[in-house]
Structure 1
Amino acid sequence: MSDTAPSAHLEPEPTPAPSTVLSAQQRLVVTIAILASFVTSLDMSVTNVALPRIAIDLGGGLSTQQWVVDAYLVTLSALMLLAGSIADAYGRVFIMRIGLIGFGIASVAVGLAISPEMMVAARALQGAAGAFLLPSSLALITSRISGPAQGRAIGTWTAATTGAMIVGPLLGGLFTDYLSWRLVFLINIVPIAVTLWLLVRLRGTDDRKRSVRIDWFGGAAAALGLGLAVWALIEQPAHGWGSPIIWVPLGIGAVLLVIFLSWQTRAVAPILPLSLFRVRNFWTGNLATLFIYAALALNGFVVGVYLQNPNGPGLTATLAGLASLPITILMVLLSSQVGALAGRYGPRIFMTVGPILLGVGAWLLLLVSEPFSYWWQVLPSMVVMGLGLSIMVAPLTAAILGAIGPERSGIASAVNNAISRVAGLIVIALLATIVGGALDLRGFHNAALVTGALFIAGAVVSWFGIRNPPRA
């Protein structure tokens, strides 16, 4: 009789759970992606708090302030789809280098602007360069990191880039009050140079698909259509809907956008593959993105500008930027952990609870009144919104990109980023209509009501539309 126990009695070794720990090269990938998208996210948010001072230095009213924001978003949104295809064709690292160099040149032009026209033109150039950075940075993560580690990587990337959007008003306020708003844009050269240096240390070949055809016609139709439509929406309060100055460009823009969508069904290599929207989590996630990021853009613009209103709170640019600091702190503390939890339990509940909290936080801004008190009227909103944003943003990104295979991650990332920017573009263009013509206390309350409703709409779409992927 053998003294060895029968093998049938041996318990099988448990299969170790997939690790979420990032290797050194994976951490380098995440760092590069964060820095590349950091400058674009920062410039989108830093502008809001600097708008009153920019208007004083360069001239212009509310429409000029809208154009400073929307000129950036028009080119960023329209060209991001084209840039996603170019990144797939020529490699994400190569396109990222092009975007970084272009963004640096445009940032210098913005910092040196001497007129509203020069500022708007330079901001448009910035947006064009930024279009090559955002999809390339996230696609770099999804193409080089997989499994549960990808959820943590996306969570870290999201925390940093969204944190840049939130900390931007604080940085813009400090520079505007104590140095110059121009330096906020000129300082972009530092992270751009660091990112270019880190790209040299990145090992592995750049994924390129030389056979990919690029839809130049689609890109031009989308850019012109968006630009004309947004011009009409911004200028409408000054001319009225009956003016041909408004309805002619609006009509042409709408026709171009219809032509663009029709062309995407026939193009050999469409920049907006409509087949992606047959995937449930992709189309519902992007619909939720449309509502949620429209609300975020509206809230960021209105809070940054209204808190500096001399006929209202009358805060300095620095204090207006500090108002959103609780959101930044909560994002940094929680987003990475929530990203890992969403990878384990699925994104649906996070994408529902987060926007609900964001909506409640937006409606808490209805407490703002005269006399003004930040601690009782604004801080509760910032805390609740910080919790909601931390819970929602990483699972939203992971759900959308996780629904599409890594071979199409570039275009999927570009579509999602473009939709989020188009959402901000439209809501800022409609700002005068939303606030009722003036950003006074009543206009601020109107904006808070609309912001909360948009967040809740995103929660409803997520709950009924998103499906958790099967657990391994």
Structure 2
Amino acid sequence: MASTIPASAPSTFRGNDKLLLGIVLGVVTFWLFAGTTGTIAPNILADINGAYSDPVQKTWANPLIDVAAMNLAVSITALFSGMFIVVAGGLADRIGRVRISLIGNGLGILGSLMIVLATGPFALPLMLGGRAIQGLSAACIMPATMALVKTYWDGPGRQRAVSMWSIGSWGGSGLASIFGGYVATFVGWRWIFIASIVISVIAILLMRGTPESKVVQTSTSKFDLAGVLVFMVSMLALMVVLIFGSKIGWLTPTTIGLFAVAVIGLLFLLRIERRAAKPFINFDLFQNRTFTGATISNFLLNGTIGLLIVTQQLLQIAGGMKASDAGLLTIGYAVMIIAFIRIGEKLLQRFGPRQPMIWGSLIVGVASILLLPTNLLLSEYRWLAVVAYALFGLGLAFYATPSTDAALANLPADQAGAGSGIYKMASSLGGAIGAAISLALFTAFSSSGAQFIGDVLINQGRTDNTGIRQAAVIALLFNVVMVIIAVVSIMATVPKTRDRAEAHPVYPK
């Protein structure tokens, strides 16, 4: 196993507000700006594809970007972030955290520029390429900037810096729907990514000149390139199956072949990682039941972001709401997650991790259930959505810190870094895969609906959008199932009581 020795940081340099602002601005380019895409997807499609060929179903005969491809664009950023966050964190340690942070911001500029230019025959490759590069940007920025916070701040100053870092991530994600909805409605969706470019430039200017921070490598272990490549191919194959399976056909040779690539690749990855001197994913960590349960539930709870994305699109497509009005309904999500995340820390200190993790998951489950009656009139459903979004934020706030503590507190000190990387990778992959499945179900059932849903929930008001409303129920039920599995994993693996270890700082997502 590789060993490292911290490089001696310049003794005269301490973190300041200029550097901290640059760090936070870099973080929000992903959580706030890139995170708007789920809400503004209908605006993007309407702008790029032009007038609907079917105004009722809101579809196009020959779209430049179809709904399935847009679903991939929504999910691919978190997917690429999850696939490369561990690699980027290792590169930051090896070649410099400041350098990787600057590279991440540069990638953010490139990705946003490609999205801004997405039009005409090159709309699809520019959109997908830009969103993938935004994911690489986030993979660079998140671990590198957190390492800078740990290096250049101490004591109360570090606690303040971590809090600001967390507000940039949690606060950014909470405000993404509102911010994106208003900009897309009143200015134009491309201006979101133009603004992201400006923010990235400011972040680079603020961080330039910061003394470099890295670790001295004392091991000659080779980088696990084989593991990374196999993992990447497997995840991409799985995402294509999830998003395009209904369009290609679930039993076609293409779909079956891609699914086989994903499954065989993941099995092969297990073999590669067990033989690697410095594995990309250290599967030995999953011998710790508490770490395993916390990581699985973290993957699943992050996957429930799909309920937010699906209902935002439901309100716009079936309800005819503007993106700004639909986004405004999520204000409770932003307020709750920012206001109550420290309460989760207090609950951890009083009850240990198990109970607040269960409470948080159950609250997310209640939020999912409240969104199920899509048969209601819009005037009634949007008030349910307000309450559900607020509960969604509250549940995640209760869950976040206790889950991080449960995952990392019981690992040996020399495994904490690897464990943290896997835990954060599970966050991003959970969000990507959960959103992809939710959107795939929503898209697949939107045209035909689901009769068994109609037998239980009889639509009030308009009936020309019945299929879309029923499709949303299917996607939301999937999120309810994820919550149930998350609760079971917590109950089966996280001890009922344990002595409190030193509290870990809140890691975003």
TM over 0.5: yes
Distance 2:108 2:417 in 1: 20
Q: Deviation of residue 453 (structure 1)?
A: 2.8
Q: Does 1:177 align with 2:185?
A: yes
**Aligned AA for 1:363?**
I
What are the equivalent positions in structure 2 for 1:75-90 lying under 5 Å apart? 75-90=80-95
Q: Tell me, yes or no, if the aligned pair for 2:110 and 2:130 is still in contact at 8 Å.
A: no
Letter in 2 for 1:94: R
Structure 2 counterpart of 1:18: none
Aligned to 2:461: none
Q: Quick check: 1:317 aligned with 2:326?
A: no
Q: Distance in 1 between matches of 2:499 and 2:149?
A: 20
Structure 1 residue identity aligned to 2:485: A
Equivalent residues of 1:155, 1:337 under 8 A apart: no
**Which of 457, 464, 484 is the equivalent residue of 1:456?**
484
Residue 254 of structure 1 pairs with residue 244 of structure 2: no
Q: CA shift at 1:394, angstroms?
A: 2.8
**Matched residue type, 2:93:** D
Shift of 1:360: 0.5
Give, as a single letter, the amino acid of the residue that structure 2 aligns with 1:224: V
1:60 aligns with 2:65: yes
Give the length in aligned residue pairs.
447
Within 5 A, what are the aligned runs for 1:19-58? 25=15, 33-58=23-48
Q: 1: distance between equivalents of 2:499 and 2:204?
A: 36
The question of whether the paired residues in 1 share the 8 Å contact of 2:171 and 2:334 is answered with yes
The equivalent of 2:283 in structure 1 is: 274
Report deviation, 1:305. Answer: 1.0
Instruction: Give, in angstroms, the shift of residue 396 of structure 1.
Output: 2.2
Contact 2:149 2:162 in 1 (8 A): yes
Cα 1:228–1:300 change in 2 (3 A) is: same
Taking the TM superposition and a 5 Å limit, the aligned residue runs for 1:368-447 are 368-373=374-379, 374=381, 376-404=383-411, 409-431=416-438, 434-435=441-442, 437-438=445-446, 440-447=468-475
Paired letter, 1:325? I
| More off after superposition, 120-129 vs 393-402 | 393-402
Matches within 5 A, 1:138-177: 138-141=146-149, 157-177=165-185
Q: Which residue of 2 aligns with 1:16?
A: none
C-alpha deviation, 1:73, in angstroms: 3.1
Partner of residue 94, structure 1: 99
TM-score by length of 1: 0.85
Distance in 2 separating the partners of 1:143 and 1:464: 37
Q: Which runs of 5+ in 1 are unaligned?
A: 1-23
Structure 1 residues 210 and 165, CA gap change in structure 2 (3 angstroms): farther
Quote the offset at 1:160 in angstroms.
3.3
Partners of 1:140 and 1:107 lie apart in 2 by 25
Change (3 A) 1:389 1:167: same
State the 1:171 CA deviation. 1.1
| Paired residue secondary structure (1:440) | helix
Instruction: Tell me how far 1:209 sits from its aligned partner.
Output: 3.0
SS at match of 1:219: helix
The residue that corresponds to 2:51 in the other structure is: none
Provide the residue aligned with 1:356 in structure 2. 362
Q: Give the superposed CA RMSD.
A: 3.0
Which shows bigger deviation, 453-462 or 336-345?
336-345
Partners of 2:157 and 2:295 in 1: how far apart? 23
Q: TM-score w.r.t. structure 2 length?
A: 0.79
Partner Cα distance (1:253, 1:151) in 2: 41
Q: For the Cα contact (< 8 Å) 2:112–2:196, is it kept in 1? A: yes
> Is the CA contact (8 Å cut-off) linking 2:34 and 2:134 kept in structure 1?
no
Structure 1 pair 394/135, CA: closer, same or farther in 2 (3 Å)? same
Q: Which residue number in structure 2 is paired with residue 302 of structure 1?
A: 310
Consecutive unaligned residues of structure 2, counting only runs of 5 or more, are: 1-13, 49-63, 447-466, 503-509
- Cα contact 1:135–1:411 (8 A) shared by 2: no
Q: Compared with structure 1, are the counterparts of its residues 319 and 465 closer, same or farther at alpha carbon in structure 2 (3 Å cutoff)?
A: same
**Whole-angstrom CA distance in 2 between matches of 1:253 and 1:38:** 32
Alpha-carbon distance, 1:150 to partner: 7.1
Give 1:272 shift.
0.6
Q: 2:244 aligns with which of 235, 240, 254?
A: 235
> Shift in Å at residue 385 of structure 1?
1.9
**In 2 relative to 1, CA 407–190 (structure 1 residues): closer, same or farther, beyond 3 Å?**
farther
Percent of aligned pairs sharing the same letter: 23
Alpha carbons of structure 1 residues 30 and 132: separation in structure 2 relative to 1, 3 Å: same
